[in-house]
Amino acid sequence: MKTELQRFQIKGGIISPGELLKLITKAESIGLDSLHFGSRQDILFPEKNNNKDIAEEHQNFDSSMFALPEHQNIMSSYVSIDIFPSTVWLRGTTYLYILEEFRYAPKLKINIVDPKQQMVPLFSGELNFIASEHEDYWFLYAKLPGIEQGYYPVLIYTWDIAHMCELVEDIYRNVSTVEGLFEALNGTTSLNSKTIKKKLTVNFSPFPYYEGMNKMRTNEYWLGLYWRNNKYNIDFLKALCTFCVDNRIGKICLTPWKSFIVKGIQASSKILLEKLLGQYGINVRHSALELNWHLPVDNQQALDLKKNLVLNFDQNDISTYGLTFGVTTEANRNKYFTSIVIEINPIPQIQNKEFIIRPTYNVVYAKSFNPNTRSYVVYAQDVDMMDLPNLLMELTKTYFENLDSQVTDIIKPGSLRFKEEKIVLEVYQCANCKTIYDPSVGDKEQYIEAGTFYEDLPETYRCALCDSSLSDFVPTEMEFIEK
């Protein structure tokens, strides 16, 4: 039986100990002994008391945190500041100022992220603001419903982000392309933008270990906490919040990995916090084999699958350092943000109850094992549970064989690359008749949607003009002069 969940918005994944204590009090009042963290840095409650709505049940609850069905939340990589690599000009205060400017509840998923960090995915939102090398300017990658996804053609100024999101919500349904969105906004408002002269690139690096007590800066530490079943005990959370208040720790940061991080722990408070962890039996050194997994909330089937696979990895001395894994029952590769994803196939319904149908799985992995490429390759389909561990172990070996520190170009598919005054579009050309396949356009006559990577074209794809095979297409560039 699927559990219904109430969702509470935690803007940017940042919550004060006092606000968290308010949530805990409400959870206790409806008989809960634990709560969940969500994949968009939100907090989830299982519904109780005959599925009564929590917000209706507690009229004096801070409704600005409660997520109405039509409202989305804002993710940010504030959690990574001061503990993981970051863009030179980006500070924690920058995130806080931007989030403060959001004085409305957005209906689009918004990501505000630093491309130098690995903790928070870059492209899991519908409006993805990604820090550029220019101070206070951001790339915008739009994945709006009904619009071909792509990069906004100019950089967005820090102090325009909140206002622009509101403008986009009002207008995006009236356009069909990101370029059309740009033209529509340009005609109605004036924003402080900057021309893009250098494409967005990301240095691929292994996913960081984010648990335990770690040195932050001189005389300060940060603590990362993760629980296997994503059920965080309310009694412990209350004690932790009280510790934070008593020790002047103003913020608790949620991660998309259903865990949380506490930063700015003074060296003088460290032993007290370690004592608190010990009193509640909190383990802060889980194996890296099981730490970097993303599972659907409150899904026992996915949790059992993960436990089985981690046990196999451990028994076979397999390293997965730097890799991230996801398990999903609702396959949608546009929403994935892990290196490897295990899709649980639906079990077919049959009339004869004497037959037991075993679940099967698909395994896909991100191109170059970098989820920021947004391109997933099918590794195996309809795999039995008995074969799944060995198959994943072979895939991890492939990852380590090809692991390097090369810069990964994440401007694709069919996106604009800027070289001073020239705009360069990456396409594929038939070697026999020179017909162009443009990923940003697709091929409507052959039912290929716009935004389809060349690597994701079916093997049966043929040149529309001369019927040449897919292998006859070669990568090339088309240049346009910017006007």
pLDDT in tens, 142-181: 999 888 888 999 999 999 999 999 999 999 999 989 989 9
- Please give the average per-residue pLDDT across 408-431, as a whole number: 56
Share of the chain above pLDDT 90, in %: 45
- pLDDT classification of 67: cutoffs 50, 70, 90: low
| pLDDT tens digits along 202-215 | 777 788 889 999 99
CATH code that applies to domain 416-481: 2.20.28.10
Indicate the pLDDT class of residue 296, thresholds 50, 70 and 90.
Answer: confident
**Residues 255-270: pLDDT tens digits?**
999 899 999 999 999 9
pLDDT for residue 324 is more than 60: yes
Residue 393 pLDDT exceeds 60:
yes
pLDDT value for 70? 62
Overall average pLDDT of the 319-337 stretch: 85
319-328, 335-344, 433-442: segment of lowest average pLDDT: 433-442
The predicted structure's pLDDT at residue 142: 94
Q: What is the pLDDT of residue 116?
A: 92
pLDDT over 60 (residue 409): no
**Reported confidence tier of residue 79, pLDDT bands at 50, 70, 90:** very high
Tell me, what's the pLDDT at 60? 44
HEC readout, the chain: CCCCEEEECCHHHEECHHHHHHHHHHHHHCCCCEEEECCCCCEEEECCCCCCCHHHHCCCCCHHHECCCCCCCEEECHHHCCCCCCCCCCCHHHHHHHHHCCCCCCCCCEEEECCCCCCCCCCCCCEEEEECCCCCEEEEEECCCCCCCEECCEEEEHHHHHHHHHHHHHHHHHCCCHHHHHHHHHHHCCCCCEECCCCCEEECCCCCCCCEEEEEECCEEEEEECCCCCCEEHHHHHHHHHHHHHCCCCCEEECCCCCEEEEEEEHHHHHHHHHHHHHCCCCCCCCHHHHCEECCCCCHHHHHHHHHHHHHHHHCCCCCCCCCEEEECCCCCCCCCCCEEEEECCCCCCCCCCCCCCCEEEEEEEHHHCHHHCCEEEEEEEEECCCHHHHHHHHHHHHHHCCCCCEEECCCCCCEEEECCEEEEEEEEECCCCCEECCCCCEHHHCECCCCCHHHCCCCCECCCCCCEHHHEEEEEEEEECC
The fold adopted by the segment(s) 289-408 is Sulfite Reductase Hemoprotein; domain 1 (3.30.413)
Residue range 354-368, pLDDT digits in tens: 666 788 999 999 888
pLDDT given at position 48: 56
Domain ranges of the chain: 289-408, 416-481
